[in-house]
Structure 1
Amino acid sequence: MLPVTDFQKIGVGLAGFGVAFLFLGVLLFFDKGLLAIGNILFICGLAFVIGLERTFRFFFQRHKLKGTGFFLGGILVVLFGWPVVGMVVETYGFVLLFGGFLPVAVNFLRRVPVIGTILNLPGISMLVNKIGEPQGMV
């Protein structure tokens, strides 16, 4: 098992709080303050978990520059006061950046007891299968 440092534990907490603030911001009719705090906490948490250099290398790879532009641009749009437009732009960038990770996440969630049962329901299963298939595979 890999050792987990204190910085990584803090990073998981920051990223978790970031996701919670983003969820609350969307739930409370796109409150721009909560969305801005959530975005900042999520990125800080990611930097704590994988390190500053690896975070920088992840976001600024040549083939991920479009996703990075949309993701960071969406964050700026939220900060400038247009939360709905910013979240749409940011979500598109998030899918471009983390799209390769989605099949891994879906397969993991299928093994979680309650969530796996929900994901295997007839209507949801078709959508999850489409999301969960690896990109580039036919």
Structure 2
Amino acid sequence: MISITEWQKIGVGTTGFGIFFILFGMLLYFDSVLLAFGNLLFLTGLSLIIGLRKTLSFFFQRHKLKGTSFFLGGVVIVLLRWPLLGMFLETYGFFNLFKDFFSVAFGFLGNTSNIPFLSMLFRRLQGTSSMV
């Protein structure tokens, strides 16, 4: 059994609150204060969950520097009260950082032919729009 430390439990809560504030800030027409607070909570929670050294080594890998610069640059832009531009930059950086993870996650889902919406979506993404 995996033991979870108290710091990791606090990190999960902090990350959850960060995601909540980011979503709530987006719902309130990109409120820059809520988005900035959510970003800070999310990054703090992430470093509490996996540790500061692993967080820094994840973000500053050589092949992930483009995604890191866009993500952290977006956080800085949100802190400077340009929330719409900052969130676009963060989103682009997030997808660049986690593009390897998405293929693993979709592979973990397995065969999507039993899920109607996902099978239609993947067929369209692959270019074959025939409905079976």
Provide the TM-score with structure 1 as the length reference.
0.79
Structure 1 unaligned blocks of 5 or more:
132-138
Q: Distance in 2 between matches of 1:78 and 1:27?
A: 15
Q: Give distance in 2, aligned partners of 1:125 and 1:30.
A: 33
Distance 1:22 1:37 in 2: 8
**Alignment partners' CA distance in 2, 1:42 and 1:128:** 30
Question: 1:16 is matched with which residue?
Answer: 16
**1:56 is the counterpart of 2:56:** yes
Work out which of the two has the higher radius of gyration on C-alpha atoms and give 1 or 2. 2
Q: CA RMSD in A?
A: 2.4
C-alpha deviation, 1:100, in angstroms: 1.4
- Alpha-carbon separation, structure 2, partners of 1:130 and 1:41: 37
Assess if the C-alpha contact under 8 Å between 1:106 and 1:128 holds in 2: no
- 2:6 corresponds in structure 1 to 6
Q: By how many angstroms is 1:129 displaced?
A: 7.2
Deviations 1:37-71 (A, max 9, x none): 11000000100000000001000000011100000
Which residue of 1 is the match for residue 97 of structure 2? 97
1:65 maps to a residue whose letter is L
The answer to whether the 8 A contact 1:60-1:68 is kept is: yes
Aligned-pair identity in percent equals 54
* CA displacement at 1:2 relative to structure 2: 1.1
Deviations for 1:69-123, whole angstroms, at most 9, x for unmatched residues?
0000001111111100110001000001112122344466x59xxxx9xxx343x
Quote the residue 1:134 is aligned against.
Answer: none
Q: Which of structure 1's runs of 4+ aligned residues deviate more than 6 A? A: none
